[in-house]
Structure 1
Amino acid sequence: MLPVRRPPRILPLVLLLLGALLAGCGPRPAGSADTTERDVRRAVADWSRAVPEALAAIPLTDWAYEVSSVRRDGDGDRALATARLRYRLAGYDTAPEGSAREVELVREGGAWRVGADRPAPGAPPQLWDQGPVSVAAGTHSLVLGGAGQSAGTLREIAAEADRAVPAASAAWPGPWAGRVVLLVPGSLDAMARLLGRPADAYRGLGAVTTGRVGAGPAPADRVVVNPEGYAGLGAEGRRIILAHEVTHVATRAATSATTPLWLSEGFADWAAYRGASTTPAQAAPALARAVRRGQLPGELPRTEDFAFGGDPDAAARAYEGAWLACRLIAAKWGEKALVDLYGRAGHEQLDTALRETLGVDRAGLTTAWQESLREELR
């Protein structure tokens, strides 16, 4: 007797596969990746609608966190959101300042809550990440002080900045906001962390200016004061350094990658020294010593000559030579010609800008500059 052939048992397998497919097409269970990301984004948005109470003294506006990614962490009740903080200082910033952030959230009772907010890995901190912030407001200035800065120091810096703004406006007739924001960190190391560079890059400097160059939406410029370097300056030195940095803010929209550094730095010094009784030999001691030794510069200062953290005497000669070049242009061809040269150099080749404003080329300007160095620094 032949064995009876039984049909293969495929029906349960088909049903199992069909069930799996139908389950895959159905709604995702609560707590899935999509649901978590949506809920985390909503929690960050709700949390960021109010400026933190600790920053209430700072005139912040347009404060918002834009989440770019969400990562579930740990046991599922923790999440990390990568975000971009955007804000403006009311009355000072016409375009938002940005900051890369990492927001930590925890889930409690089924709802996500922000537990911590910090700079994203590798991103520089904001001033308030370093501790309490104090505020001093001037007529043309807003000064934000980091942890440990006294109210008296901030008021003095605001008063000096209020004098620097009209000085910059007198030298630069082009359009600019006519007001400035200054950050005064608690220490040189805190300043370096804000700017994302080693402290040695700023040691001995009184202040620096941040901001992107070029036209378009006005950048959120900041003058960052080195509390150690600034404290070591006398009254005249403080006046010069803030007028110099504020002039960088004033000329920012006219400055581009094609603007020679000797022109941008020299113009800022020219604006700062404009009207002062300081002689070239007094204001350019490093270059004066070199000229007296017979070491006359063979060319206008190069970009690399201004590098932070290098030979301080070489950097001093570069700044002094740049100032004396702009001083020469203003004296020989007129202040308007110097301003026009600055404006043209931001969008034209330097030789073209020189011919159109001064009627000389780079070689002709260099020769005139060298002659003035021999005469004024001997």
Structure 2
Amino acid sequence: MPRLRRPPRIRPLLPVLLCALLAGCGPGLAGGADTAERDVRRAVADWSRQTPDALAGIPFADRVYEVASVRRDGERALVRARLRYRLAGYDTAPEESAREIEAVRRDGTWRVSADGPAPGALPQLWDQGAVSVAAGTHSLVLGGAGQSTATLEEIAAEADRAVPAATAAWPGPWAGRVVVLVPGSLDAMARLLGRPADAYRGLGAVTTGRVGEGPAPADRVVVNPEGYAGLGAEGRRIILAHEVTHVATRTATAAATPLWLSEGFADWAAYRGASTSPAQAAPALARAVRRGALPGQLPGTEDFAFGGDPEAAARAYEGAWLACRLIAAKWGEKALVDLYARAGREPLETALRETLGVDRAGLTEAWRDSLREELR
């Protein structure tokens, strides 16, 4: 999560808008109905080439609407479409969004009057108001309504420090750049991600994106503006380096990757090279160990749940970090990286034997011994 290259700056960037309208979206319509649908599709195409105020400055590499259906009711039409877009210089695979577009006919001409998320679909940041942009050396920060230029520039600078930190920890291939979204509030963040606000309360940031092999996904680090603002300088450095590491390791991460390994590796990358002691960085786990509650197993998936017991979640993250820290110290940083890469494509027991020469029980015992030693 460390070197500032150069100060970022707010810059206006004109989006490139492209609309692909697919023909034949259902049973064929004859005569005037056919003509009306073509006119509605043409109106969507014409509108898509414009630059709505809320999108001004967002550097789209492409922005494609694929029309799925047109439902007309007199002088009004509802269009269901799938939006696919990429941000120039950042996305190698498109972000997708189901959209509902409204068109109206006035004086014989169809025009788009509204565009928003389809029912049940998540909104895009610009659905919540005008978006501001700050560009760093390795980062693009998009701010929601109400975010200040100064805040976005500070986050871009911190993200620029986080990218080299993630690269130093993870030598595997990745883009070496990151997109950060900063919604206007915690509630706006919750709506953007489709979960209750309480699930993110107290968190500094989260990462979205698909896992597994294939084209690099359109990862996003989403900052909780309230949680992030409550952190000190070191906390902000740690949280962004942690989340950027998730972006770096995304294509090596799979559903089979244990959460203790993915979360622990991200924290290990964030604390790597820092002078913070285990007791300082793992206070919740240290308290548990000192009262005799030494964990019996490595943290399970359920231990990392959002919105649960914050003390238990803290112990899970801290224990995961200390497990990865132990692996790097005892078996070497390369072994830790190799374990991460293997754990996403083969059983954990196999990955452990091939990289560390121990099974899960052996690693767990070594980890518990290290907790007794370092947190007593």
Q: Which residue of 1 aligns with 2:154?
A: 156
Per the TM alignment, residue 111 of structure 1 is displaced from its structure 2 partner at its CA by 2.6
Identity of aligned residues (%): 86
After TM superposition, the structure 1 stretch with the greater mean CA deviation from structure 2, 323-332 or 53-62, is 53-62
**Secondary structure at 1:164's aligned position in 2?**
helix
Cα RMSD for the two superposed structures: 1.1
Displacement after TM superposition at 1:42 (Å): 2.5
Give 1:44 deviation, angstroms. 1.3
- Map 1:1-378 onto structure 2 (within 5 A): 28-30=30-32, 32=33, 34-73=34-73, 76-378=74-376
Q: Distance in 1 between matches of 2:134 and 2:54?
A: 16
TM-score normalised according to structure 2 size: 0.91
Contact 2:205 2:222 in 1 (8 A): yes
Please give the alpha-carbon distance, in whole angstroms, between the structure 2 residues aligned to 1:109 and 1:277: 70
3-state SS of the aligned residue for 1:58? coil
Give, in whole Å, the separation in 1 of the partners of 2:236 and 2:149: 18
Distance apart, 1:36 and its partner CA: 3.1
Q: Distance in 2 between matches of 1:300 and 1:139?
A: 38
Distance 1:37 1:353 in 2: 56
**Partner letter of residue 63 of structure 1?**
R
> Which of 1 and 2 has greater Rg?
1
* Structure 1 Cα separation of the partners of residues 328 and 168 of structure 2: 14
State the alpha-carbon separation in 2 of the partners of residues 151 and 269 from structure 1. Answer: 29
Higher relative contact order by CA 8 Å / sep ≥ 6: 1 or 2?
2
SS of 1:282's equivalent in the other structure is helix
Deviation string, structure 1 residues 28-50 (Cα, Å, up to 9, x no partner): 442x2x33333322321232133
Q: Match for 1:319: what amino acid?
A: Y
Q: Secondary structure at the match of 2:308?
A: coil
Q: Are the equivalent residues in 2 in contact too, given 1:149–1:186 (CA < 8 A)?
A: yes
User: What's the counterpart of residue 23 of structure 1?
Assistant: none
Q: Give how far 1:236 is off.
A: 0.3
1:4 paired residue number: none
**Following the alignment from structure 1 to structure 2, what is the Cα–Cα distance between the partners of residues 51 and 340?**
46
The superposition leaves residues 57-104 of structure 1 with CA deviations (integer Å, 9 ceiling, x where unpaired) of 11112112111111123xx11010011111111011111111111000
Output the CA distance in 2 between the equivalents of 1:57 and 1:143: 11
Query: Retained in 2: the 8 A contact 1:49–1:64?
Result: no
Cα deviation, residue 53, structure 1: 4.4
- Could you tell me the TM-score, scaled by structure 1's length? 0.90
Equivalent-residue separation in structure 2 for 1:188 and 1:85 (angstroms)? 25
Q: CA distance change for structure 1 residues 318 and 371 in 2, over 3 Å: closer, same or farther?
A: same
Cα distance, 1:115–1:132 mapped onto 2, change above 3 Å: same
Q: Report the CA distance between 1:175 and its aligned residue.
A: 0.4
CA distance, structure 1, for counterparts of residue 145 and residue 237 of structure 2 = 24
d(CA) in 1 for partners of 2:123, 2:55: 15
**Matches of 2:244 and 2:164 in 1, distance apart?**
10
Range with greater deviation from structure 2 (244-253 or 58-67): 58-67
Distance 2:247 2:350 in 1: 25
Whole-angstrom distance in 1 between the partners of 2:129 and 2:139: 22
Distance 1:28 1:161, change over 3 A: closer
**What per-residue deviation string (whole Å, max 9, x for no partner) do you get for residues 290-321 of structure 1?**
11111111111000100000011110000000
